[in-house]
Amino acid sequence: MPTKKKGSRTGIRLFAKLLLQALREMKRNDPLRMAGATAFFTTFALPPILIILFQLFSLFLSQKMVGAELSQFLSDTLGRDAATQLRQITRGFRTIVQHWYTAALGFVFLLFVATTLFTVVRNTLNDIWNIKIKEKAGLLFGLGMRARSIVIIVAAGILFFAGIFIDSFEAIAGNNLDMIWPGGGKFFKGVLDEVISAVIVTTWFILLFRYLADGRPTWKASIAGGVLTGILFSIGQTVLSYLIIHSNIGSIYGKSASFVLILLFVFYSSFILYFGASFIQAYSDAKGTPVFPLRKAVRYRLQEVK
């Protein structure tokens, strides 16, 4: 027993040390600038991302179901007004399309805008991990980076709709549980919803950390950073969603309140994402397994010149 307690205390001290090192790493990279830039680009990229996911999954599911689930998710996360604003912007994008060639050009434009956001995130991860692209990377390399961003977007959509299908099974299990334990089904569904949501978000963060940037952290580092980021994101999402939905922010910002809410949520999410990346850097350094640069990328070191 004493040995187990000593090992537990050592693990807690190591975790606390990694958190402090992650905070130092993040502070060194100017987190307000990173999160602010990401929030700014997200305001332009979010409607195209929603359109891409809507069009993609409408090939396999009914448009009514896809639209309803996306709307419900946005309302639960950002509040009804912000979700309505996003739906209006998305509808405006879609009404531009009149002919097949405008549809094709429009889709290319949407892909460009959506992947530009992930280019910003990728560059920020590179900065945190001290990775940079060689000067002569080439056009094909750039297109490959865009393709990688598209895969990350599609992965987010797949995980989201996997959660929807799991939710339908939850409802069946909850109804059966109500027959045995009145009221237990609602409790069971509420707890399981939170757990599944956290697992889905964590999985996406792990994939993003592992594959988006131009450096590869180990799987252990990616999982450690993804789990921490997923937990912090889920906690923050619950708190922010409650504050956003129940606050009277409209009396302060008026008609632009919904836009401010979107910026606030994305700013916090970006802050948590980059803290997770900083934790991966600290974890990798502690384990002696630094983030490995991909082909046409190199590691660099910042050194103070006296």
pLDDT in tens, 151-191: 888 888 888 777 767 766 665 665 665 666 666 656 666 67
Is residue 20 situated within a structural domain? Answer: no
Cβ atoms of residues 190 and 219 within 8 Å: no
Confidence at residue 146, expressed as pLDDT on a 0 to 100 scale = 83
**pLDDT tens profile 261-277:** 778 888 888 999 999 99
Confidence at residue 185, expressed as pLDDT on a 0 to 100 scale = 58
State the pTM of this model.
0.82
Is residue 298 situated within a structural domain? Answer: no
Confidence at residue 44, expressed as pLDDT on a 0 to 100 scale = 81
Instruction: Indicate whether 279 pLDDT > 90.
Output: yes
Is residue 94 situated within a structural domain? Answer: yes
Cβ atoms of residues 282 and 223 within 8 Å: no
Is residue 175 situated within a structural domain? Answer: yes
With a CB cutoff of 8 Å and minimum separation 6, the contacts of 139 are none
Confidence at residue 277, expressed as pLDDT on a 0 to 100 scale = 95
Is residue 234 situated within a structural domain? Answer: yes
Most confident of 9-18, 96-105, 282-291: 282-291
**Any idea which residue has 């409802």 for tokens?**
171
| Domain region containing 88 | 30-293
Is residue 236 situated within a structural domain? Answer: yes
CA pair distance 9, 4, nearest whole angstrom: 9
**pLDDT tens profile 35-57:** 988 988 888 888 888 888 887 77
Cβ atoms of residues 115 and 146 within 8 Å: yes
Share the mean pLDDT of the chain.
Answer: 79
* Paired sense of beta strands 215-216 and 292-293, if any: antiparallel
pLDDT band per the 50, 70, 90 thresholds, residue 133? confident
Q: How many domains does the chain have?
A: 1
Lowest mean pLDDT among 38-47, 52-61, 201-210, 291-300: 52-61
Is residue 241 situated within a structural domain? Answer: yes
Q: What are phi and psi of 58, to 5 degrees?
A: -70, -15
Q: Which residue has the higher pLDDT, 88 or 208?
A: 208
Is residue 114 situated within a structural domain? Answer: yes
The CA-atom distances, in angstroms, between 60 and each of 55, 56, 63, 66, 159 are 10, 8, 9, 10, 15
Instruction: Indicate whether 11 pLDDT > 80.
Output: no
Cβ atoms of residues 253 and 260 within 8 Å: yes
Q: Where are the alpha helices (DSSP H) in the chain?
A: 2-28, 31-57, 63-78, 80-95, 100-128, 139-180, 184-211, 219-246, 250-253, 257-287
